[in-house]
Amino acid sequence: MAKLIHSMIRVLDEDRSVAFYRDCFGLRVAERLDFENFTLIYLSNDETGTELELTVNKGRTQPYDLGDGYGHVAFSVDDVDALHARLTEAGHAPRKLVDFAPGGEVIARFFFIQDPDGYEIEVLQRGGRYL
């Protein structure tokens, strides 16, 4: 059996990215590994065993081309409305809240937000399959 342990994204500015994920999702630096040409920063919180790995390639000044293959990372939260309001107030510009009801019954309540490097993040109301 396999266990998902982390997902990695490349970021330009370590401080900016660490602050975003801390402020928006309560992720903290679990470990930071500094090498000659790059730095790896592992972020986590007490709610999950899965980590987000931020890779900073030293000397890079241009934003990464996210291409058309990247989808999104998703977080589930206890109160999606409260988090949406807090992130809006903090100036993080989350997109509108959506009640997803393809068959007439709401199966998900969510919004999207972009991190400082343009990565899409889906934030879902905890419940059903989104625990």
User: pTM of the full predicted structure?
Assistant: 0.88
Q: Are 61 and 79 in contact (CB under 8 A)?
A: no
Q: What are phi and psi of 80, to 5 degrees?
A: -65, -35
pLDDT for the residue numbered 2:
64
Of the residues 14, 47, 120, 122, only one is catalytic, namely 122
DSSP string of 92-123, one letter each residue: ------EEE-TTSS--EEEEEEE-TT--EEEE
Task: Say which residue, 18 or 66, is predicted with more confidence.
Answer: 18
Active site residue 122: yes
Looking at residues 95-102, what average pLDDT do you find? 94
Q: Across the chain, what does the average pLDDT equal?
A: 94
Which domains, from first to last, does the chain contain? 1-61 (3.10.180.10), 71-131 (3.30.720.110)
pLDDT above 90 for 131: no
pLDDT tens digits for 13-30? 999 999 999 999 999 999
